[in-house]
């Protein structure tokens, strides 16, 4: 089994570059079955969010599965995220609620899920005020030991610069964004690298249906050349650029393939993949003031 590489965060803690995404996985039975397969396949990072509605199911599953797989809490990296309705001074309380549902003494990484606030116009200056208050609240939670590291998701360079100017002495360690050959911003990657912030990709395989990149000719061509699956090529394309990935799957075979990225994509094929027409498949944070 390929040993998943890790990245040393600004705090000194390490994070696996390949993790398991839990979006759309819910229900106590399904969550337990899926996480059992994921842990067996070698995943040691589980990504969730208050928005996903599965934190409690994940907490219950891990309570039973960790001993089964001879693992301790510290062997598994857990990420969760702030619901966009919980921005402001109450962010620490929202984190504490996620902690309670996960039945864990701490969360490894907690992200502000979205720079905007539900119920407030994306053009309102209140967004900036409330996300700043959220960050200050999460810094308090970090100092109290509720969370090891804090970061953001869907932040643009503009949002990051604003945060870094008033980060209460704690810089974000991760920025989780949509990232794949069809959506990758060089300026964002360069900024994060310069600041020591890890870029973590979601939607690494593109969207669903006709937005999926799995069947696109340029992806299939590289996969056939390397003797790999299209999903493996798309995931390796990110990891090879030191961008972390959190693919989701309910299939044991897909889970095992998605974490087995022990190969190298030649430079010319990396360039070919990156030439794909750029478009946003998911929500666009550029509109949030």
Annotated binding site: 113
SS3 36: helix
pTM of this structure: 0.97
Q: State the maximum Cα–Cα separation within the chain, in Å, rounded to a whole number.
A: 52
Q: Which residues does 224 contact at the CB level (< 8 Å), separation at least 6?
A: none
Q: Copy the structure tokens of residue 76.
A: 């598994």
Q: What pLDDT was estimated at residue 194?
A: 98
Domain that holds residue 130: 13-287
Q: Is residue 236 part of a domain?
A: yes
Average pLDDT over residues 32-42: 98
Question: Could you count the other beta carbons within 10 Å of the beta carbon of residue 70?
Answer: 7
Number of residues in the chain: 289
Give the model confidence (pLDDT) of 94-140 as tens digits.
999 999 999 999 999 999 999 999 999 999 999 999 999 999 999 99
Helix (H) or strand (E) holding 78: strand 77-82
pLDDT confidence tier of residue 280, bands split at 50, 70 and 90? confident
Asked if pLDDT for residue 1 goes beyond 80, the answer is no
Cross-strand pairs, 80: 110
Q: Is residue 6 part of a domain?
A: no
Give the model confidence (pLDDT) of 46-94 as tens digits.
999 999 999 999 999 999 999 999 999 999 999 999 999 999 999 999 9
Q: What pLDDT was estimated at residue 164?
A: 98
Asked if pLDDT for residue 209 goes beyond 80, the answer is no
Q: Is residue 1 part of a domain?
A: no
Give the model confidence (pLDDT) of 135-155 as tens digits.
999 999 999 999 999 999 999
Q: How many structural domains comprise the chain?
A: 1
**CB-CB contact of 199 with 185 (8 Å):** no
Annotated binding site for substrate: 113
Cross-strand pairs, 176: 153, 200
Q: Which residues does 209 contact at the CB level (< 8 Å), separation at least 6?
A: none
Average pLDDT over residues 23-51: 97
Give the model confidence (pLDDT) of 224-279 as tens digits.
999 999 999 999 999 999 999 999 999 999 999 999 999 999 999 999 999 998 98
Helix (H) or strand (E) holding 15: strand 14-16
Q: Is residue 4 part of a domain?
A: no
Q: Is residue 100 part of a domain?
A: yes
Q: Is residue 2 part of a domain?
A: no
Question: Could you count the other beta carbons within 10 Å of the beta carbon of residue 57?
Answer: 24
pLDDT confidence tier of residue 9, bands split at 50, 70 and 90? very high
User: CA-CA distance, 82 to 28, in Å (whole number)?
Assistant: 22
User: CA-CA distance, 131 to 122, in Å (whole number)?
Assistant: 12
- In CATH, what number is assigned to the domain containing residue 138? 3.20.20.100
Give the model confidence (pLDDT) of 176-195 as tens digits.
999 999 999 999 999 999 99
**CB-CB contact of 52 with 20 (8 Å):** no
Q: What pLDDT was estimated at residue 243?
A: 98
Token pair 């960050």: residue: 135
User: CA-CA distance, 267 to 5, in Å (whole number)?
Assistant: 20
Average pLDDT over residues 1-5: 86
Report, as residue numbers or ranges, the catalytic residues: 52
For residues 3-40, one letter each, b for 16 or more C-beta atoms within 10 angstroms of the residue's C-beta and e for the rest, the string is ebebbebbeeeebbbbbbbbeebbeeeebbebbbbbbe
Note the Cα 97 to chain centre separation in Å.
20
């Amino acid at each position: 089994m390929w040993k998943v590489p890790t990245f040393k965060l600004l705090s000194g803690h390490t994070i696996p570059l390949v993790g398991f995404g839990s979006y759309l996985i819910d229900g106590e039975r399904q969550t337990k079955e899926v996480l059992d397969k994921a842990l067996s396949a070698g995943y040691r990072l589980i990504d969730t969010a208050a928005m996903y509605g599965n934190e409690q199911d994940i907490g219950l599953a891990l309570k039973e599965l960790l001993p089964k797989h001879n693992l301790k809490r510290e062997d598994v990296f857990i990420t969760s995220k702030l619901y966009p309705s919980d921005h402001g001074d109450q962010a620490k309380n929202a984190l504490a609620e996620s902690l309670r549902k996960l039945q864990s003494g701490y969360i490894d990484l907690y992200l502000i899920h979205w720079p905007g606030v539900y119920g407030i116009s994306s053009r309102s200056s209140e967004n900036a005020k409330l996300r700043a208050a959220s960050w200050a609240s999460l810094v308090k939670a970090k100092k109290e030991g509720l969370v090891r590291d804090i970061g953001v998701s869907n932040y643009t360079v503009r949002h990051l610069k604003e945060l870094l100017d008033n980060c209460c002495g704690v810089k974000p360690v991760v920025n989780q964004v949509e990232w794949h050959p069809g959506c990758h911003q060089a300026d964002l990657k360069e900024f994060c690298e310069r600041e020591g912030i890890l870029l973590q990709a979601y939607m690494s395989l593109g969207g669903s249906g006709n937005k999926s990149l799995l069947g696109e000719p340029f992806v299939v061509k590289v996969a056939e050349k390397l003797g790999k699956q299209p999903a493996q090529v798309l995931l390796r394309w990110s990891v090879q650029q030191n961008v972390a990935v959190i693919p989701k799957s309910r299939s044991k075979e897909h889970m095992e393939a998605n974490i087995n990225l022990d190969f190298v994509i030649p430079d010319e094929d990396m360039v070919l993949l990156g030439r794909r027409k750029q478009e946003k498949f998911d929500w666009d944070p550029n509109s949030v003031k």
